[in-house]
Structure 1
Amino acid sequence: MTITQLKYVLAVAENQNFTKAAEKTFVTQPTLSMQIQKLEDELDVLIFDRSKKPIELTDVGQKIVQQARNIVNEANRISDIVDQQKGYIGGEFKLGVIPTVMPTLLPMFLRNFIKKYPKVKLKIEELPTETIIERLEEGHLDAAIAATPLMLQNIKERPLYYEPFVAYMPENRELEVNEKIDVSSLDLDHMLLLEDGHCFRDGVINLCKTNRNYDDEIFSLESGSFETLVKLANEGLGMTLLPYLHTLEIKESERKHLHHFKDPAPAREVSLLYHKSELKMQIIEALRTTIAGVVKGAITFQNVQIISPLPQGKQKN
C-alpha cells in the first residue's frame, strides 16, 4: 500500500470517474486503474462498484476513503513540519470566501498579504457555506472565511471579527437620522432578502424570529446582491439589513437611511475556518494576523449579540 495509491483512490471517489481522476492526478488512466486494482487485490476487497454509472464506493470503500484522507493529510504534515522548521511561508494556498464577505473584506487585506508574503500562491474562490464545508472536509480548500458558529466536528473556527447588522429603511419617515432601533421593530414581511443559500439571509430570518407571510405579498423577490436590495428599498418596496462593512460604501445621500441597532446590536461572527488536521498552519496564522490587523481599525463595536448563520432547522441547542 502506498500514499500514491491512496491519492488515486481519493481522486476516483471525488470524481466518480477513472478518466477524470487520472486527469486530476496527472497520470494515464491505465496507470491509475492498475494501481487501484493492485490495492484492491492486496486488501482483498472491492473499493469501487464499477457496475454503477457514475462509479460508486462500496460499503467498505467508504470506510477506506475516510481513512485514506486521514493518512494523506498526515503524510502532507511532514512537509508542513519542514516548512515551519525553516520558517518558510509559501506555496499554493486555496482559500474559500462566502459571497457576502468577499467584496468588502478582500480589498481590505489582499494587497497587504501579497506584499508581506510574496511566496504564497493564493487561490481564492467565492463559494457558499455548504460548498466550503464540503471542500474543507475533502481537503480541496486549505482554509475559508465564513459566518460562524457552524459547530462542525472536523472544522476549526478562529473568529476574525464581529460585524453588526445595520438596517436600511428609506420608507420609514418616523425615524430621526441616526436614530437607533430595536430588533423587536423588525418585520420579515416587509424585508428584502438575499436569495436562498446565503447564510446572511438565514441570519436575518433568525434575527426576526418569524416566518414570512407569502399569502399577502404583491411581489416576491430574493436577490444575490446587496446593491440590488438597496435600490429596491429606495423605490419604496421594503427595507433590508446590511452587514456593517457594506454600509461603508453607501452613497452619502443614502446614509441618512441607515439605522444601527440598540445594544446589544445583532451581529454576525466572521471566522477563519480550517480542517482539524491543521495543515499549512503557518500560512493560516499569517492570514489571520493580516486580516485582524486591517479589520481592527474598521470595526470597533464591542456590545453585540451573535446571530446564528444556520437555517433554523439545523441549529444546535
Structure 2
Amino acid sequence: MTIVQLEYIVAVDTYRSFGTAAEKCFITQPTMSMQVQKLEEALGVILFDRSKQPVVPTEIGIEIIEQARIILKESYKIRELISDRKGEVEGELRIGIIPTMAPYLMPGVISSFMTKYPRVHLHIWEYTTEQIIHELKNGLLDCGILSTPVKDKSLQENPLFYECFVAYLSKSSILNSKKNLDPKDIDLNELWLLNEGHCMRNQILNICNKEKSAQIKPFQYNTDSVETLKRMVDMNKGVTLLPELSMADFSVKQLDRVRYFKSPQPSREISIVTHRNFLKKRLISILEQEIMATIPRRMHTKNKKEILEIY
C-alpha cells in the first residue's frame, strides 16, 4: 500500500469515474485501474462497484477511503513541516473564486504573488459559491474566495474586506438627477441581473427588498458576467448594481453614471474560506497578505463603518 495508491482511490471516489480521476491525476486510465486493483489485491477487498455508473465505493470501500483521506492529510502535514523548517515557500495552492470577484481581484494578486513566490504553483478556478463549497468539502480546493457568511459548520471563514455595491445607470435613467440613492429608488423592471445561482443576484434583490423569485422585466437576458451587465446598461435603458472593485477601469463618462447608496451602504463581506481541517496554512496566509495589499485600505474589515452587510 502506497501514498500514491491512496491518492488514486480518493480521486476515484471524488469524481466517481476512473477516466476523470486518471485525467485529474495526470495518468492514463489503464494505469489508474491497475493501481487501484493492486491495492484491492493487497487489502483483500473490493473498494469500488464497477458495475454501476457512476462508479460507487463498496461498503468497506467507504470506510477505507475515509481513512485514506485522513492518512493523506497527515502526510501533507509532514511536507509542510519540512518546507517551513527550511524557510521555503513552495508547493501548490488550489483556489476557487466567485466570478463576480475574480476579474477585479486576481490579476493584480497573481502578478505580485508569482513575482515574490515563483516556486508556488497557483491553480485558480472561477466557480459559483455552491461549487466552491462542494470542492472544499471534497478536498479539491485548498481555499475559496467568496462572499460570506456561507453558514456551514464544516468550513472556516476568515473575513478580509467589505465591498460596497453601487448603481450603474443608463444615460436616459431618471436616477441620474440624484446624487445618492435609496434602495427603494430602484425599479425592478429596469434592473439587469445575473443568472439565478449567483449569490450576487440574491444580494441585489435583498438590497432592493425583492423576493428572490420575483419576476423581472418581460425581456430576460441570462448572463454570468458582470461585464455583460455593464454593456447592457451602456447600450440599453435601465440600471444594474455592481461590486465596487469592478469600477477600477471605468472611464470618466462611466463614473458619471455611478451612484452610491445613502448610508448605511449595502456591502458584501469577502472572505477566504477553508475546510476546518485545512492544510497549507502558510501558503493561504501569504495569499491573504497579497490580497490585502491590493485592496484599498478603506475596504479592510477593521475599517468597517457605515455599511450594511447584505447576504
Q: TM-score, normalised to structure 1's length?
A: 0.85
Query: What per-residue deviation string (whole Å, max 9, x for no partner) do you get for residues 152-172 of structure 1?
Result: 223222112100000112343
CA distance in 2, matches of 1:67, 1:186: 53
The answer to whether the aligner puts 1:305 opposite 2:305 as a matched pair is: no
Query: What per-residue deviation string (whole Å, max 9, x for no partner) do you get for residues 170-226 of structure 1?
Result: 34335536x111223334333100122322112112222323653x83311132222
The 1:195/1:174 distance shift into structure 2, 3 A limit, reads: closer
Partner of residue 220, structure 2:
220
CA distance in 2, matches of 1:164, 1:34: 54
Query: What per-residue deviation string (whole Å, max 9, x for no partner) do you get for residues 22-65 of structure 1?
Result: 55264724531333323552xx5x43222212311234533443
Q: TM-score, normalised to structure 2's length?
A: 0.87
The 1:254/1:61 distance shift into structure 2, 3 A limit, reads: same
Moved over 6 A (4+): none
Partner of residue 138, structure 1:
138
- Percent identity at matched positions? 34
Partner of residue 176, structure 1:
177
Partner of residue 314, structure 1:
none
**Structure 2 letter corresponding to 1:195:** N
Q: Secondary structure at the match of 2:256?
A: helix
Partner of residue 198, structure 1:
198
The 1:62/1:203 distance shift into structure 2, 3 A limit, reads: farther
CA distance in 2, matches of 1:242, 1:17: 39
| Matched pairs, number | 303
Deviation at 1:259, TM superposition (A): 0.9
Partner of residue 61, structure 2:
61
Residues 168, 241 of structure 1: 8 Å contact kept: yes
Partner of residue 267, structure 1:
267
Residues 173, 237 of structure 2: 8 Å contact kept: no
CA distance in 2, matches of 1:21, 1:186: 48
Deviation at 1:264, TM superposition (A): 1.4
The 1:174/1:3 distance shift into structure 2, 3 A limit, reads: closer
Query: What per-residue deviation string (whole Å, max 9, x for no partner) do you get for residues 245-283 of structure 1?
Result: 112322211222211111111111111122222311111
Partner of residue 121, structure 2:
121
Q: Secondary structure at the match of 1:74?
A: helix
CA distance in 2, matches of 1:114, 1:29: 32
Partner of residue 232, structure 1:
232
Q: Secondary structure at the match of 1:11?
A: helix
Q: Secondary structure at the match of 1:217?
A: coil
Cα RMSD of the aligned pairs, angstroms, is 2.5
CA distance in 1, matches of 2:133, 2:42: 29
Partner of residue 40, structure 2:
37
Query: What per-residue deviation string (whole Å, max 9, x for no partner) do you get for residues 105-158 of structure 1?
Result: 112322222222222122222222222222222222222211111122232221
CA distance in 2, matches of 1:17, 1:173: 55
Partner of residue 8, structure 2:
8
**Structure 2 letter corresponding to 1:173:** I
Residues 194, 226 of structure 1: 8 Å contact kept: yes
